Amino acid sequence: MTRVRIGCSGWNYTDWRGRLYPRGVPQRRWLELYAEHFDTVEVNATFYRLPARDMVRGWCAHTPEGFCFAVKASRYLTHIRRLTEVEDGMRRLAERLEPLASGGRLGPILWQLPESFPRDDGRLAGLLAATEHWPVRHTIEFRHPSWFAAPVLRALREHDVALTIGDHPDRPFQSLEATAGWRYVRLHYGAAGGDGRYSEDELATWARRIAQWRRRADVHVYLNNDWCGYAPENARSLARRLAVGPPGRP
């Protein structure tokens, strides 16, 4: 059976106090409270630094069985090395995330490329070859229009790597094509809701798309408009439309 998971890109945002988290609740409990509303989260902290294994164990301890962590790969590999010689960095990340893997909570690995990184088939081939040695789901978010070409999408399909659907009005070249047996969606900025908030009409459109995709594939969806509490608000609205979420919560 296919599964839809809807969550946010991160959980440690101070302006979520009074919105998702009751005022006065200490920050150390935020992940636990987050997991009462959502069954998945996208970890962005790993983009900036490798997490300590004790920290990763803490993530497991504060989430229920079946919770899923999608993890963003290091910017050192994507933005500085630009996908050259990623094997060692990938191995170090896998070692740090082992508590998630052994705890059944490790989801997709997100490779987000910078807008200044144009298509390079050789470097992409190196990354795709490296993913074969880490048998988890991988997804790539391209932010330069040159990547959206048939040979690139074909290479992703050959490795069952998902093309990240990154919704942002500044990147209209993004594609809804499927390149894997599952899908990964990042909703960055609503164009109609004002200040990045997704309007109900926009969420209804995404709900219709996801309802179609879920007939054949698992779908991971993450709201990245974290300011002003928009991400959890929009994520909960989208989850209600699709009747998904943690047990006991639509």
pLDDT tens string 102-118: 999 999 999 999 999 99
Does residue 50 carry a pLDDT above 70? yes
Report the domain count for the chain: 1
Is position 186 within any domain? Answer: yes
Is position 250 within any domain? Answer: no
Q: Give the structural domain span for 139.
A: 4-242
Is position 247 within any domain? Answer: no
CATH of the domain at 198: 3.20.20.410
Q: What is the mean pLDDT of residues 57-69?
A: 97
Say if CB 40 and CB 7 are below 8 A apart.
yes
Q: What is the mean pLDDT of residues 4-14?
A: 97
pTM here is 0.96
Does residue 250 carry a pLDDT above 80? no
State how far the alpha carbon of 232 is from the alpha carbons of 19, 32, 127, 141, 201, in Å: 8, 15, 32, 22, 17
Q: What is the mean pLDDT of residues 221-225?
A: 98
N-to-C CA span, the chain:
18
Is position 184 within any domain? Answer: yes
- Which residues is 144 bridged to in the sheet? none
Give the sign of the dihedral formed by CA 226, CA 227, CA 229, CA 230: negative
Does residue 249 carry a pLDDT above 80? no
Q: What is the mean pLDDT of residues 176-184?
A: 98
Listing DSSP states for 127-183 in one string gives HHHHHTTS-S-EEEE--SGGG-SHHHHHHHHHTTPEEPEEE-TT-TT------SSEE
Name the band, by pLDDT with cuts 50, 70 and 90, for residue 1: confident
State how far the alpha carbon of 167 is from the alpha carbons of 46, 137, 242, in Å: 22, 20, 19
Q: What is the mean pLDDT of residues 159-175?
A: 97
Q: What is the mean pLDDT of residues 51-75?
A: 97
Q: What is the mean pLDDT of the chain?
A: 96
Q: Tell me the C-alpha distance between 11 and 18, whole Å.
A: 14
Is position 248 within any domain? Answer: no
